[in-house]
């Protein structure tokens, strides 16, 4: 049986570029060479697609954020430019070579399936998924709409509330609101009660998030969040919250993993705590009652279905030690795949190893693609 050619797309133009490099490295290292032929594809921070000469490597706990970002911003020496034609065809990705005369030579890579591990805007938000849809190539993870909704925390909250799912009190606004109605924005945000979390609406990995404990600190937190996105969400803090996460896998009949718990090495699970701080730790499975486990799993699948996701997602919750209330925080449609990421750990604890998880995700992508090929594209 011929090997499947799997294009692993990583990097991207978002603030989560460095995390994506680490996720791409893990997937490339765990693709079974007997079954798959891996094709690494990196999107540089300037937006260029390249076929790198060297596979990515994960950032380590010893790295500084500034060092990791500076290294990622430097162009990779060598490699060929890659182009994704936005139309169906056998050459779903092409390599661009320049001959001695300077003329362009295009070589089709004939990918069977694409595994995007692009975190954040211009990758996880439906943009790359839309390009893959136009090229009619199977790809891992949720489609265009689910990806877009899963990235936009404001739209996500609206859909969760429409389904009757429990969310914390929140308020969303855009740059124009902040520029023209600053006093109203501050008033409505503070009406939620302190402390508050201020977040860019379209970003992940806790980039740009601030915990605000005083009214005086709110304007600076908003300005920081607006530096990453034109839309901001402000959320009321859940009192004495535990951070619970659950992984979802499947298409029309999704399954939920055992829940896990995050114990941040900092005040909350920010970028440093997630990727660069050895003080953070996890507990899998989480110390929950059977009823709490069942509710986390039920709500995880409900959130997955609320945005019409497929393939995979990780769903994050806040569980108040004070009130016992369980709050749905967000859904991540391309969760981290680093060696310390929760998605793979949760499924491993549920009986699915990392290589088997990769196999399953590729199978789900191909299944979804076959289903879509049976749809009519003409009324005649």
Q: Render pLDDT for 125-180 as a digit per residue (tens, 0 to 9).
A: 999 999 999 999 999 999 999 999 999 999 999 999 999 999 999 999 999 999 99
Nearest to 166 by CA among 45, 57, 316, 329: 329
Segment (H or E) for 20 = helix 17-30
Q: What are the CA-CA distances from residue 356 to residues 70, 93, 218, 301, 326 (Å)? A: 34, 26, 45, 21, 31
Pairing of strands 113-116, 104-108: unpaired
Separation of CA 244 from chain center: 17
Residues 289 and 259 sit within 8 Å (Cβ to Cβ): no
Task: Specify the CATH class of 4-139 in words.
Answer: alpha beta
Residues 173 and 229 sit within 8 Å (Cβ to Cβ): no
Pick the CATH number of 150-166+239-372 from 3.20.20.30, 3.40.50.150, 3.30.470.20, 3.40.50.300: 3.30.470.20
pLDDT in the model for residue 67: 47
- CA 108 – CA 64 distance, rounded (Å): 38
- Evaluate whether the domain defined by 170-236 bears CATH number 3.30.1490.20: yes
For the chain, which residues make up each domain, given as ranges?
4-139, 150-166+239-372, 170-236
How sure is the predictor about 247, in pLDDT bands with cuts at 50, 70 and 90?
A: very high
pLDDT in the model for residue 65: 43
Q: Which residues of 52-88 are buried (b: 16+ CB within 10 A; e: fewer)?
A: beeebebbeeeeeeeebeeebeeeeeebeebebbeee
How sure is the predictor about 279, in pLDDT bands with cuts at 50, 70 and 90?
A: low
Residue 310: strand, helix, or coil: coil
Task: Tell me whether domains 4-139 and 150-166+239-372 share a fold.
Answer: no
- CA 235 – CA 195 distance, rounded (Å): 9
- CA 7 – CA 26 distance, rounded (Å): 14
Backbone angles phi, psi at 325, to 5 degrees: -75, 140
Helix 144-151 / helix 153-162 crossing angle, nearest 10 deg: 100
Give 139-153 pLDDT, tens digit per residue: 999 999 999 999 999
pLDDT in the model for residue 63: 44
Q: What's the whole-number mean pLDDT along residues 332-344?
A: 88
Residue 70 has pLDDT above 90, yes or no: no
Look over the chain and give the mean of its residue pLDDT values, rounded to a whole number.
88
How sure is the predictor about 99, in pLDDT bands with cuts at 50, 70 and 90?
A: low
How sure is the predictor about 68, in pLDDT bands with cuts at 50, 70 and 90?
A: very low
Residue 302 has pLDDT above 90, yes or no: yes
- CA 93 – CA 84 distance, rounded (Å): 5
**Predicted TM-score of the model (pTM):** 0.88
How many secondary structure helices (H) and strands (E) does the chain include?
A: 12, 17
Q: What's the whole-number mean pLDDT along residues 2-22?
A: 90
Residues 206 and 243 sit within 8 Å (Cβ to Cβ): no
């Amino acid at each position: 049986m011929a090997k499947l050619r799997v294009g692993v797309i990583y990097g991207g133009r978002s603030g989560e570029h460095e995390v994506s490099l680490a996720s791409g490295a893990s997937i490339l290292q765990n693709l079974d060479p007997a079954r798959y032929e891996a094709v690494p594809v990196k999107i540089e921070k300037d937006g260029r697609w390249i076929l790198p000469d060297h596979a990515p490597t994960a950032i380590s706990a010893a790295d500084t954020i500034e060092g990791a970002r500076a290294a990622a911003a430097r162009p990779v020496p060598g490699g060929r430019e890659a182009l994704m034609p936005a139309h169906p065809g056998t050459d779903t990705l092409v390599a661009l070579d320049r001959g001695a005369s300077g003329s362009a030579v295009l070589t089709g890579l004939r990918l069977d399936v694409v595994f995007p591990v692009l975190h954040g805007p211009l990758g996880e938000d439906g943009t790359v998924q839309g390009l893959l849809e136009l090229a009619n190539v199977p790809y891992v993870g949720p489609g265009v709409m689910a990806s877009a909704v899963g990235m936009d925390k404001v739209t996500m909250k609206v859909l969760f509330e429409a389904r009757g799912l429990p969310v914390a009190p929140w308020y969303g606004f855009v740059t124009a609101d902040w520029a023209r109605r600053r006093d109203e924005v501050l008033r409505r945000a503070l009406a939620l009660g302190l402390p508050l979390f201020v977040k860019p609406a379209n970003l992940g990995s806790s980039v740009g998030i601030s915990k605000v404990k005083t009214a005086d600190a709110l304007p600076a937190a908003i300005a920081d969040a607006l530096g990453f996105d034109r839309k901001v969400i402000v959320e009321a803090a859940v009192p004495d919250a535990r951070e619970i996460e659950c992984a979802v896998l499947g298409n029309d009949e999704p399954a939920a993993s055992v829940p896990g718990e995050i114990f941040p090495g900092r005040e909350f699970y920010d970028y440093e705590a997630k990727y660069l701080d050895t003080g953070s730790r996890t507990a899998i499975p989480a110390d929950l009652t059977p009823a709490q486990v069942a509710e986390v799993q039920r709500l995880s699948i409900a959130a997955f279905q609320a945005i019409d996701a497929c393939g995979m997602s990780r769903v994050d919750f806040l569980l108040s030690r004070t009130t016992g209330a369980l709050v749905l925080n967000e859904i991540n449609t391309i969760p981290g795949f680093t060696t310390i990421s929760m998605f793979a750990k949760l499924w491993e604890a549920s009986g699915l190893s990392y290589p088997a998880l990769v196999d399953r995700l590729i199978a789900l992508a191909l299944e979804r693609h076959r289903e879509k090929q049976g749809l009519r594209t003409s009324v005649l």
